[in-house]
A = this chain, B = another copy of it.
Amino acid sequence: MANSELRVFHGTSHPELGDKIIQYLGLPPGEIKISRFAGGEIYARILENVRGQSCVIVQTCTEKVNDDLMELFIIIDAMKRASAKTITAVIPHFGYARQDRKAASREPVSARLIANLLETAGADRVVTMDLHSDQIQGFFNIPVDTLTAMPILASYIKGKGLQDLAIVAPDTGRVKVAKKLADRVGAQLAILHKVRAEHHVSAVTHVVGDVKDKTVIITDDMIDTAGTITSGVDALREAGCRPEVYVLATHGIFSGSAVERISKSGFREVVVTDTLPIPEEKRFPGLEVLASAELLGEAIRRNYENRSITTLFD
Protein backbone atom coordinates (compact mmCIF):
# COMPACT_ATOMS: atom_id res chain seq x y z
CA MET A 1 0.00 0.00 0.00
CA ALA A 2 1.38 3.36 -0.98
CA ASN A 3 2.14 6.08 1.55
CA SER A 4 -0.37 8.74 2.41
CA GLU A 5 0.77 12.15 1.28
CA LEU A 6 -0.19 15.52 2.68
CA ARG A 7 -2.35 17.54 0.30
CA VAL A 8 -3.58 21.01 1.30
CA PHE A 9 -6.51 22.67 -0.49
CA HIS A 10 -8.32 25.90 0.23
CA GLY A 11 -11.82 27.16 -0.37
CA THR A 12 -12.75 30.60 -1.64
CA SER A 13 -13.29 32.32 1.69
CA HIS A 14 -9.72 33.50 2.24
CA PRO A 15 -7.40 32.41 -0.60
CA GLU A 16 -4.46 34.55 0.57
CA LEU A 17 -4.29 32.77 3.91
CA GLY A 18 -4.65 29.38 2.23
CA ASP A 19 -1.81 30.18 -0.15
CA LYS A 20 0.43 31.39 2.67
CA ILE A 21 -0.14 28.18 4.60
CA ILE A 22 0.65 26.04 1.56
CA GLN A 23 3.74 28.15 0.92
CA TYR A 24 4.88 27.73 4.51
CA LEU A 25 4.55 23.97 4.10
CA GLY A 26 6.53 24.03 0.85
CA LEU A 27 3.82 22.09 -0.97
CA PRO A 28 2.31 22.53 -4.41
CA PRO A 29 -1.23 23.92 -3.98
CA GLY A 30 -4.04 21.35 -3.95
CA GLU A 31 -5.85 21.49 -7.27
CA ILE A 32 -9.55 22.11 -6.89
CA LYS A 33 -12.20 23.81 -8.96
CA ILE A 34 -14.82 25.76 -7.06
CA SER A 35 -17.48 27.74 -8.87
CA ARG A 36 -20.91 29.10 -8.33
CA PHE A 37 -23.87 28.59 -10.60
CA ALA A 38 -26.06 31.53 -11.54
CA GLY A 39 -28.76 29.95 -9.37
CA GLY A 40 -26.56 30.27 -6.29
CA GLU A 41 -25.43 26.69 -5.84
CA ILE A 42 -21.78 25.96 -5.23
CA TYR A 43 -19.94 23.44 -7.34
CA ALA A 44 -16.67 21.87 -6.32
CA ARG A 45 -14.48 19.31 -7.98
CA ILE A 46 -11.11 18.10 -6.82
CA LEU A 47 -8.80 18.06 -9.80
CA GLU A 48 -6.13 15.70 -8.56
CA ASN A 49 -6.21 12.15 -7.28
CA VAL A 50 -6.67 12.12 -3.47
CA ARG A 51 -7.25 8.40 -3.00
CA GLY A 52 -5.66 7.42 0.29
CA GLN A 53 -4.14 10.86 0.84
CA SER A 54 -4.15 13.02 4.01
CA CYS A 55 -6.31 15.89 2.81
CA VAL A 56 -6.55 19.29 4.43
CA ILE A 57 -9.03 21.96 3.45
CA VAL A 58 -8.53 25.52 4.70
CA GLN A 59 -11.72 27.56 4.92
CA THR A 60 -12.39 30.40 7.32
CA CYS A 61 -15.81 31.88 8.19
CA THR A 62 -16.23 35.38 6.82
CA GLU A 63 -19.29 37.61 6.65
CA LYS A 64 -20.72 35.23 4.05
CA VAL A 65 -20.46 32.49 6.64
CA ASN A 66 -23.27 30.36 5.22
CA ASP A 67 -21.66 30.19 1.82
CA ASP A 68 -18.32 29.46 3.44
CA LEU A 69 -19.70 26.61 5.52
CA MET A 70 -21.76 25.04 2.73
CA GLU A 71 -18.73 25.24 0.45
CA LEU A 72 -16.71 23.51 3.13
CA PHE A 73 -19.30 20.74 3.58
CA ILE A 74 -19.46 20.19 -0.17
CA ILE A 75 -15.69 19.97 -0.55
CA ILE A 76 -15.50 17.53 2.33
CA ASP A 77 -18.22 15.41 0.70
CA ALA A 78 -16.25 15.38 -2.55
CA MET A 79 -13.07 14.38 -0.71
CA LYS A 80 -14.85 11.62 1.17
CA ARG A 81 -16.35 10.16 -1.99
CA ALA A 82 -12.97 10.50 -3.71
CA SER A 83 -11.55 8.14 -1.04
CA ALA A 84 -9.36 10.56 0.87
CA LYS A 85 -7.72 8.77 3.79
CA THR A 86 -8.34 11.57 6.27
CA ILE A 87 -9.99 14.96 5.92
CA THR A 88 -8.89 17.80 8.16
CA ALA A 89 -10.98 20.97 8.15
CA VAL A 90 -8.84 23.97 9.04
CA ILE A 91 -11.25 26.72 10.08
CA PRO A 92 -9.15 29.64 11.37
CA HIS A 93 -12.26 31.60 12.41
CA PHE A 94 -15.03 29.21 13.43
CA GLY A 95 -18.39 30.77 12.63
CA TYR A 96 -21.51 30.70 14.81
CA ALA A 97 -19.24 30.25 17.83
CA ARG A 98 -21.13 32.86 19.83
CA GLN A 99 -24.34 30.83 19.62
CA ASP A 100 -22.75 28.21 21.86
CA ARG A 101 -25.61 27.97 24.36
CA LYS A 102 -29.28 28.73 24.72
CA ALA A 103 -29.25 32.19 26.28
CA ALA A 104 -33.01 32.35 25.89
CA SER A 105 -35.58 29.62 25.52
CA ARG A 106 -36.11 27.99 22.10
CA GLU A 107 -32.85 29.24 20.68
CA PRO A 108 -30.61 26.93 18.70
CA VAL A 109 -27.10 25.94 19.76
CA SER A 110 -25.74 26.74 16.35
CA ALA A 111 -22.10 26.04 17.19
CA ARG A 112 -23.02 22.47 18.11
CA LEU A 113 -25.10 22.21 14.98
CA ILE A 114 -22.10 23.23 12.85
CA ALA A 115 -19.96 20.67 14.64
CA ASN A 116 -22.54 17.97 13.87
CA LEU A 117 -22.82 19.05 10.24
CA LEU A 118 -19.03 18.94 9.82
CA GLU A 119 -18.88 15.42 11.23
CA THR A 120 -21.80 14.34 9.05
CA ALA A 121 -20.17 15.79 5.95
CA GLY A 122 -17.14 13.64 6.70
CA ALA A 123 -14.51 15.69 8.52
CA ASP A 124 -12.10 13.57 10.56
CA ARG A 125 -10.45 16.42 12.43
CA VAL A 126 -10.79 20.17 12.91
CA VAL A 127 -8.06 22.73 13.42
CA THR A 128 -9.19 26.16 14.57
CA MET A 129 -8.00 29.23 16.45
CA ASP A 130 -9.20 30.94 19.61
CA LEU A 131 -12.73 29.58 19.83
CA HIS A 132 -15.24 31.94 21.43
CA SER A 133 -15.53 29.45 24.29
CA ASP A 134 -13.30 26.50 25.07
CA GLN A 135 -16.33 24.28 25.53
CA ILE A 136 -16.94 24.27 21.77
CA GLN A 137 -14.19 21.65 21.55
CA GLY A 138 -16.63 19.40 23.35
CA PHE A 139 -19.26 19.95 20.65
CA PHE A 140 -17.15 17.66 18.49
CA ASN A 141 -16.67 13.92 18.77
CA ILE A 142 -13.68 14.13 16.47
CA PRO A 143 -10.33 15.56 17.60
CA VAL A 144 -10.08 19.34 17.55
CA ASP A 145 -6.80 21.22 17.67
CA THR A 146 -7.49 24.62 19.14
CA LEU A 147 -4.61 26.93 18.42
CA THR A 148 -4.28 30.28 20.08
CA ALA A 149 -2.88 33.55 18.80
CA MET A 150 -2.27 34.73 22.33
CA PRO A 151 1.51 34.17 22.20
CA ILE A 152 1.64 36.18 18.97
CA LEU A 153 -0.50 38.97 20.41
CA ALA A 154 1.27 39.01 23.77
CA SER A 155 4.65 39.04 22.15
CA TYR A 156 3.63 41.95 19.96
CA ILE A 157 2.37 43.99 22.88
CA LYS A 158 5.39 43.17 25.02
CA GLY A 159 7.58 44.46 22.23
CA LYS A 160 6.01 47.89 22.79
CA GLY A 161 7.59 48.19 26.24
CA LEU A 162 4.44 49.75 27.70
CA GLN A 163 4.20 50.41 31.44
CA ASP A 164 1.35 50.26 33.98
CA LEU A 165 -0.81 48.03 31.89
CA ALA A 166 -4.39 47.02 32.62
CA ILE A 167 -5.96 44.24 30.58
CA VAL A 168 -9.67 44.89 30.25
CA ALA A 169 -12.37 42.31 29.49
CA PRO A 170 -15.13 43.98 27.49
CA ASP A 171 -17.86 41.97 29.23
CA THR A 172 -18.29 39.40 31.98
CA GLY A 173 -18.05 36.45 29.60
CA ARG A 174 -14.55 37.44 28.45
CA VAL A 175 -12.81 37.73 31.81
CA LYS A 176 -11.13 34.36 31.64
CA VAL A 177 -9.31 35.20 28.42
CA ALA A 178 -8.34 38.65 29.70
CA LYS A 179 -6.95 36.99 32.79
CA LYS A 180 -4.73 34.73 30.69
CA LEU A 181 -3.30 37.70 28.82
CA ALA A 182 -2.88 39.69 32.04
CA ASP A 183 -0.87 36.86 33.57
CA ARG A 184 1.24 36.54 30.44
CA VAL A 185 2.18 40.22 30.18
CA GLY A 186 2.17 40.91 33.92
CA ALA A 187 -0.73 43.35 34.03
CA GLN A 188 -3.70 44.30 36.19
CA LEU A 189 -7.14 43.02 35.32
CA ALA A 190 -10.33 45.04 34.88
CA ILE A 191 -13.78 44.31 33.60
CA LEU A 192 -16.51 46.19 31.81
CA HIS A 193 -20.17 45.33 32.23
CA LYS A 194 -23.38 47.03 31.35
CA VAL A 195 -25.96 47.93 33.96
CA ARG A 196 -29.45 48.95 33.03
CA ALA A 197 -30.63 51.42 35.68
CA GLU A 198 -34.30 51.37 36.60
CA HIS A 199 -36.64 53.57 34.53
CA HIS A 200 -33.88 54.18 32.05
CA VAL A 201 -33.72 52.91 28.53
CA SER A 202 -30.01 52.86 27.91
CA ALA A 203 -27.49 50.82 29.80
CA VAL A 204 -24.45 52.32 31.46
CA THR A 205 -21.06 50.64 31.23
CA HIS A 206 -19.44 50.05 34.60
CA VAL A 207 -15.75 49.51 35.14
CA VAL A 208 -14.84 46.94 37.73
CA GLY A 209 -11.21 47.24 38.81
CA ASP A 210 -8.76 50.09 38.87
CA VAL A 211 -7.66 51.57 35.55
CA LYS A 212 -6.63 55.00 36.74
CA ASP A 213 -3.45 56.17 35.00
CA LYS A 214 -3.13 52.80 33.38
CA THR A 215 -2.44 52.03 29.75
CA VAL A 216 -5.45 50.02 28.89
CA ILE A 217 -5.58 47.00 26.54
CA ILE A 218 -9.05 45.76 25.74
CA THR A 219 -8.91 42.15 24.66
CA ASP A 220 -11.45 39.92 23.02
CA ASP A 221 -11.53 36.83 20.77
CA MET A 222 -13.01 38.82 17.91
CA ILE A 223 -13.99 42.31 16.85
CA ASP A 224 -17.31 42.17 15.06
CA THR A 225 -19.41 45.36 15.09
CA ALA A 226 -17.00 46.84 17.65
CA GLY A 227 -20.00 48.11 19.63
CA THR A 228 -18.89 46.75 22.97
CA ILE A 229 -15.33 47.95 22.84
CA THR A 230 -16.15 51.40 21.53
CA SER A 231 -18.83 52.00 24.14
CA GLY A 232 -16.42 50.65 26.76
CA VAL A 233 -13.61 53.03 25.95
CA ASP A 234 -15.59 56.04 27.15
CA ALA A 235 -16.20 54.43 30.51
CA LEU A 236 -12.52 53.58 30.77
CA ARG A 237 -11.53 57.14 30.01
CA GLU A 238 -13.99 58.48 32.55
CA ALA A 239 -12.38 56.09 35.02
CA GLY A 240 -9.10 57.86 34.36
CA CYS A 241 -7.10 55.55 32.12
CA ARG A 242 -4.27 56.95 30.02
CA PRO A 243 -5.24 58.33 26.62
CA GLU A 244 -3.58 55.61 24.55
CA VAL A 245 -5.90 52.59 24.46
CA TYR A 246 -5.06 49.35 22.64
CA VAL A 247 -7.39 46.65 21.37
CA LEU A 248 -6.19 43.07 20.88
CA ALA A 249 -8.20 40.32 19.24
CA THR A 250 -7.56 37.21 17.18
CA HIS A 251 -10.34 37.62 14.65
CA GLY A 252 -11.04 40.91 12.90
CA ILE A 253 -14.52 40.73 11.38
CA PHE A 254 -15.18 44.50 11.33
CA SER A 255 -18.79 44.11 10.23
CA GLY A 256 -21.48 46.77 9.93
CA SER A 257 -20.22 50.17 11.04
CA ALA A 258 -17.27 48.73 12.94
CA VAL A 259 -14.64 50.71 11.07
CA GLU A 260 -16.53 53.97 11.54
CA ARG A 261 -16.98 53.33 15.26
CA ILE A 262 -13.36 52.41 15.74
CA SER A 263 -12.16 55.45 13.83
CA LYS A 264 -14.12 57.70 16.16
CA SER A 265 -12.83 56.04 19.31
CA GLY A 266 -9.25 57.10 18.96
CA PHE A 267 -7.59 53.80 19.77
CA ARG A 268 -3.84 53.88 19.55
CA GLU A 269 -3.77 50.50 17.84
CA VAL A 270 -6.19 47.76 16.97
CA VAL A 271 -4.28 44.50 16.63
CA VAL A 272 -5.72 41.40 15.01
CA THR A 273 -4.40 38.40 13.06
CA ASP A 274 -5.15 37.51 9.47
CA THR A 275 -7.55 34.64 10.17
CA LEU A 276 -10.04 36.68 8.20
CA PRO A 277 -9.54 38.61 4.97
CA ILE A 278 -9.56 42.36 5.59
CA PRO A 279 -10.39 44.16 2.38
CA GLU A 280 -8.86 47.52 1.58
CA GLU A 281 -12.01 49.46 2.53
CA LYS A 282 -11.89 48.02 6.06
CA ARG A 283 -8.29 48.96 6.71
CA PHE A 284 -7.92 52.03 8.90
CA PRO A 285 -5.02 53.86 10.51
CA GLY A 286 -3.86 52.07 13.62
CA LEU A 287 -4.87 48.65 12.36
CA GLU A 288 -2.14 46.09 12.78
CA VAL A 289 -2.61 42.64 11.21
CA LEU A 290 -0.32 39.88 12.48
CA ALA A 291 0.37 36.72 10.49
CA SER A 292 -1.26 33.41 11.47
CA ALA A 293 -0.20 31.23 8.55
CA GLU A 294 2.94 29.89 10.19
CA LEU A 295 1.01 28.78 13.24
CA LEU A 296 -1.69 27.11 11.16
CA GLY A 297 0.80 25.58 8.77
CA GLU A 298 2.94 24.21 11.57
CA ALA A 299 -0.15 22.63 13.18
CA ILE A 300 -1.02 20.95 9.88
CA ARG A 301 2.51 19.66 9.50
CA ARG A 302 2.67 18.27 13.02
CA ASN A 303 -0.68 16.59 12.61
CA TYR A 304 0.58 14.89 9.50
CA GLU A 305 3.83 13.90 11.19
CA ASN A 306 2.15 12.69 14.39
CA ARG A 307 4.01 15.26 16.45
CA SER A 308 2.65 17.18 19.41
CA ILE A 309 0.94 20.49 18.72
CA THR A 310 0.77 21.57 22.34
CA THR A 311 4.50 22.10 22.42
CA LEU A 312 3.95 24.89 19.90
CA PHE A 313 2.61 26.95 22.78
CA ASP A 314 5.13 26.07 25.50
Contacts and interface: CB of A to CB of B under 8 A. Distances in A.
Interface of A: 1-4, 6, 37-47, 49-54, 62-67, 69-71, 73-75, 77-83, 95-96, 98-113, 116-117, 120-121, 125, 133-139, 141, 143-144, 146, 169, 172-173, 175-176, 178-179, 183, 188-191, 193, 195-196, 206, 208-209, 224-225, 253, 255-256, 258, 302-310
B53 A40 contact: no
Nearest to A145: B83
B113 A77 contact: yes
Contacts of A79: 106
A175 B171 CA distance: 9
Contacts of A44: 107-108
Contact of A133 (B135, B169, B190, B196): B135
Of A81, A209, A258, which is in contact with the most chain B CB atoms at under 10 Å from its CB? A81
Contact of A99 (B41, B110, B172): B41
Contacts of A125: 83
Given A41-B110, A70-B70, A77-B108, 11 more contacts: A1-B3, A1-B6, A1-B306, A39-B225, A41-B99, A67-B67, A77-B109, A81-B102, A105-B308, A183-B196, A188-B208
Given A37-B224, A117-B121, A109 B137 contact: yes
Nearest to A135: B135
For this chain, the copies found in one complex come to 6
A61 B138 CA distance: 20
Given A134-B102, A135-B136, A304-B1, A38 B81 contact: no
A127 B82 CA distance: 13
Contacts of A69: 66, 70
Nearest to A226: B38
The 8 A-B residue pairs with the shortest CB-CB distance in the complex, in nearest-first order:
A38-B256, A52-B306, A135-B135, A105-B310, A101-B134, A112-B138, A38-B255, A46-B106
A4 B1 contact: yes
Contacts of A45: 104, 106-107
A52 B108 CA distance: 17
Given A39-B253, A102-B81, A51 B308 contact: yes
A137 B102 contact: yes
22 contacts: A1-B304, A2-B306, A39-B63, A40-B255, A49-B106, A51-B309, A53-B306, A66-B71, A73-B117, A77-B110, A81-B144, A83-B303, A100-B138, A102-B137, A109-B138, A120-B120, A135-B135, A138-B139, A179-B193, A183-B195, A189-B191, A191-B209
Contact of A106 (B50, B70, B71, B139): B50
Contact of A173 (B53, B176, B302): B176
Nearest to A86: B1
B81 A70 contact: no
Nearest to A109: B138
A191 B44 CA distance: 30
A103 B150 CA distance: 15
